[in-house]
Structure 1
Amino acid sequence: MASGFGWGGGRSRCFSYWQEFQKCYAQTDSPSECTPQSQDYLECLHHTKQNARNHAVLSEYERQVEHLKEQAQHKAASHPQVTAPVKQEETPTK
């Protein structure tokens, strides 16, 4: 929303980034100098870097959970629990 107005009226969340980009673009002779401002504005709009980071964190979490499950299964298989037989109490007969 480069117009500066959000859905609920007022300024949009990315309007300040748009203003920075527009100011840089108007002041420079080489538009490539405004690449950081452009990237900031596009990130604010589309959240591509944030989404990629969230995906990487989630993938790592899932990988660690699977690794812990495999470790638990391996530990359980290699060290079976030995339980002593349960002694039943004898009831006196009358």
Structure 2
Amino acid sequence: MDIFIPIGIGFALNIAVYIIVFFIVKNKRLARATPFISTFILILISFIIGRWIGMGLAVISLGMLVAAVVTLVASFFHGKEINNISKN
């Protein structure tokens, strides 16, 4: 069960990155791309560092990847709702 702590940290960190970028830039496309970019940067850093610390960073990046997919799916369905409301 201890594996869920770093995954939760990564999830919360990437949601925070998404919210900060969305409110600063006001661009949905950039806000959706930023969590994926930060995830892949952390994965690269974890491979460069290696050892146990790198493995811990890789687990955190797994949580970040989950958060990036969740934000992508949520923004996709949110866009569908807006399109359906505007058509009626």
TM-score normalised by the chain length of structure 1: 0.36
User: Of the two structures, which has the highest relative contact order with CA contacts closer than 8 Å and spacing of 6 or more?
Assistant: 2
User: Higher helix fraction: Structure 1 or Structure 2?
Assistant: 2
- Report the TM-score when normalising by structure 2: 0.38
The higher radius of gyration belongs to 1
